[in-house]
Amino acid sequence: MKWKTSKISTMRTWGLLLVLIGLGLCVLGTSGIILFGQTGKIIAAIFMVFGIISCFVSMGVYFWVGMISTNAPVLECPECGKNTKMLGETDRCMYCHTILTWNPDKATAAPAESESPAAPLQS
Protein backbone atom coordinates (compact mmCIF):
# COMPACT_ATOMS: atom_id res chain seq x y z
CA MET A 1 0.00 0.00 0.00
CA LYS A 2 1.37 3.36 -0.96
CA TRP A 3 -0.41 5.25 1.83
CA LYS A 4 1.40 3.48 4.69
CA THR A 5 4.59 5.18 5.90
CA SER A 6 7.22 4.62 8.54
CA LYS A 7 6.41 5.31 12.19
CA ILE A 8 8.76 8.31 12.40
CA SER A 9 7.21 9.90 9.30
CA THR A 10 3.72 9.34 10.67
CA MET A 11 4.56 11.05 13.95
CA ARG A 12 6.15 13.98 12.09
CA THR A 13 2.98 14.29 10.02
CA TRP A 14 0.90 14.52 13.22
CA GLY A 15 3.25 17.25 14.48
CA LEU A 16 2.81 19.23 11.27
CA LEU A 17 -0.96 18.76 11.42
CA LEU A 18 -1.02 20.15 14.97
CA VAL A 19 0.96 23.22 13.86
CA LEU A 20 -1.44 23.87 10.99
CA ILE A 21 -4.49 23.40 13.24
CA GLY A 22 -2.99 25.78 15.82
CA LEU A 23 -2.25 28.46 13.25
CA GLY A 24 -5.71 28.00 11.74
CA LEU A 25 -7.33 28.48 15.13
CA CYS A 26 -5.31 31.66 15.68
CA VAL A 27 -6.38 33.06 12.30
CA LEU A 28 -9.99 32.04 12.92
CA GLY A 29 -9.90 33.79 16.29
CA THR A 30 -8.50 36.94 14.73
CA SER A 31 -11.31 36.96 12.19
CA GLY A 32 -13.74 36.95 15.12
CA ILE A 33 -12.67 40.52 15.92
CA ILE A 34 -13.53 41.65 12.41
CA LEU A 35 -16.87 39.85 12.22
CA PHE A 36 -18.28 40.27 15.73
CA GLY A 37 -16.78 43.53 16.99
CA GLN A 38 -16.57 43.76 20.79
CA THR A 39 -17.77 40.19 21.41
CA GLY A 40 -15.20 39.00 18.91
CA LYS A 41 -12.36 39.95 21.27
CA ILE A 42 -13.45 37.25 23.70
CA ILE A 43 -13.81 34.76 20.84
CA ALA A 44 -10.37 35.77 19.57
CA ALA A 45 -8.81 35.26 22.99
CA ILE A 46 -10.32 31.78 23.34
CA PHE A 47 -9.25 30.67 19.87
CA MET A 48 -5.77 32.17 20.34
CA VAL A 49 -5.28 30.20 23.55
CA PHE A 50 -6.35 26.94 21.89
CA GLY A 51 -4.14 27.70 18.89
CA ILE A 52 -1.09 28.38 21.05
CA ILE A 53 -1.74 25.20 23.06
CA SER A 54 -1.91 23.22 19.81
CA CYS A 55 1.40 24.74 18.65
CA PHE A 56 3.05 23.86 21.99
CA VAL A 57 1.74 20.28 21.78
CA SER A 58 3.17 20.06 18.27
CA MET A 59 6.52 21.30 19.58
CA GLY A 60 6.41 18.49 22.15
CA VAL A 61 5.61 15.93 19.44
CA TYR A 62 8.53 17.13 17.32
CA PHE A 63 10.86 17.01 20.35
CA TRP A 64 9.67 13.49 21.22
CA VAL A 65 10.15 12.27 17.64
CA GLY A 66 13.60 13.81 17.56
CA MET A 67 14.62 12.00 20.73
CA ILE A 68 13.25 8.70 19.42
CA SER A 69 14.95 9.25 16.07
CA THR A 70 18.40 9.66 17.64
CA ASN A 71 18.18 6.20 19.24
CA ALA A 72 16.56 4.38 16.31
CA PRO A 73 18.79 1.80 14.62
CA VAL A 74 19.71 2.54 11.02
CA LEU A 75 19.55 -0.30 8.52
CA GLU A 76 19.74 -0.68 4.78
CA CYS A 77 16.44 -1.38 3.02
CA PRO A 78 16.64 -4.61 1.00
CA GLU A 79 14.37 -3.17 -1.74
CA CYS A 80 15.75 0.31 -2.47
CA GLY A 81 19.17 0.05 -0.79
CA LYS A 82 18.79 3.36 1.12
CA ASN A 83 19.52 3.75 4.83
CA THR A 84 16.34 4.00 6.91
CA LYS A 85 15.54 4.13 10.63
CA MET A 86 13.39 1.46 12.20
CA LEU A 87 11.25 1.64 15.35
CA GLY A 88 9.96 -1.47 17.06
CA GLU A 89 9.89 -4.99 15.65
CA THR A 90 8.25 -4.02 12.37
CA ASP A 91 8.32 -0.75 10.47
CA ARG A 92 8.30 0.52 6.90
CA CYS A 93 11.09 1.95 4.79
CA MET A 94 10.95 5.77 4.73
CA TYR A 95 11.50 5.80 0.97
CA CYS A 96 9.89 2.76 -0.72
CA HIS A 97 7.46 1.78 2.13
CA THR A 98 8.64 -1.85 2.19
CA ILE A 99 7.72 -3.67 5.41
CA LEU A 100 10.86 -4.31 7.48
CA THR A 101 11.14 -6.58 10.52
CA TRP A 102 13.71 -7.86 13.00
CA ASN A 103 11.58 -10.91 13.80
CA PRO A 104 11.82 -13.73 11.22
CA ASP A 105 8.46 -15.11 12.41
CA LYS A 106 6.70 -11.94 11.21
CA ALA A 107 8.44 -11.85 7.83
CA THR A 108 6.04 -12.24 4.90
CA ALA A 109 8.43 -13.60 2.28
CA ALA A 110 10.81 -16.53 2.65
CA PRO A 111 14.44 -16.02 1.60
CA ALA A 112 15.23 -16.98 -1.97
CA GLU A 113 16.24 -20.62 -2.34
CA SER A 114 18.36 -19.91 -5.40
CA GLU A 115 21.31 -19.09 -3.14
CA SER A 116 22.09 -22.77 -2.63
CA PRO A 117 24.20 -24.41 -5.36
CA ALA A 118 22.03 -25.99 -8.01
CA ALA A 119 22.23 -29.72 -8.60
CA PRO A 120 23.44 -30.74 -12.07
CA LEU A 121 20.65 -31.55 -14.49
CA GLN A 122 20.20 -35.18 -15.40
CA SER A 123 19.33 -35.99 -18.96
Residue 115 has pLDDT above 70, yes or no: no
Asked if 43 and 98 sit in the same domain, the reply is no
Asked if 47 and 89 sit in the same domain, the reply is no
Asked if 25 and 84 sit in the same domain, the reply is no
Residue 114 has pLDDT above 70, yes or no: no
Is 34 contained in some domain?
A: yes
Is 21 contained in some domain?
A: yes
How far is residue 44's CA from residue 39's CA, in Å, rounded to a whole number? 9
Domain span at residue 60 reads: 1-71
Predicted TM-score (pTM) of the model is 0.72
Is 118 contained in some domain?
A: no
Is 52 contained in some domain?
A: yes
Is 122 contained in some domain?
A: no
pLDDT digits (tens, 9 = 90+) for 15-37: 999 999 999 999 998 888 888 88
Asked if 46 and 25 sit in the same domain, the reply is yes
Q: What is the largest CA-CA distance in the chain?
A: 96
Contact by Cβ (8 Å): 101, 6: no
Asked if 96 and 53 sit in the same domain, the reply is no
The number of domains in the chain is 2
Asked if 48 and 22 sit in the same domain, the reply is yes
Asked if 11 and 43 sit in the same domain, the reply is yes
SS (H, E, C) the chain: CCCCCCHHHHHHHHHHHHHHHHHHHHHHHHHHHHHHCHHHHHHHHHHHHHHHHHHHHHHHHHHHHHHHHHHCCEEECCCCCCEEECCCCEEECCCCCCEEECCHHHCCCCCCHHHCCCCCCCC
Asked if 43 and 101 sit in the same domain, the reply is no
User: Tell me, what's the pLDDT at 9?
Assistant: 87
Asked if 32 and 42 sit in the same domain, the reply is yes
Contact by Cβ (8 Å): 9, 86: no
How far is residue 59's CA from residue 40's CA, in Å, rounded to a whole number? 28
Asked if 8 and 23 sit in the same domain, the reply is yes
How far is residue 8's CA from residue 65's CA, in Å, rounded to a whole number? 7
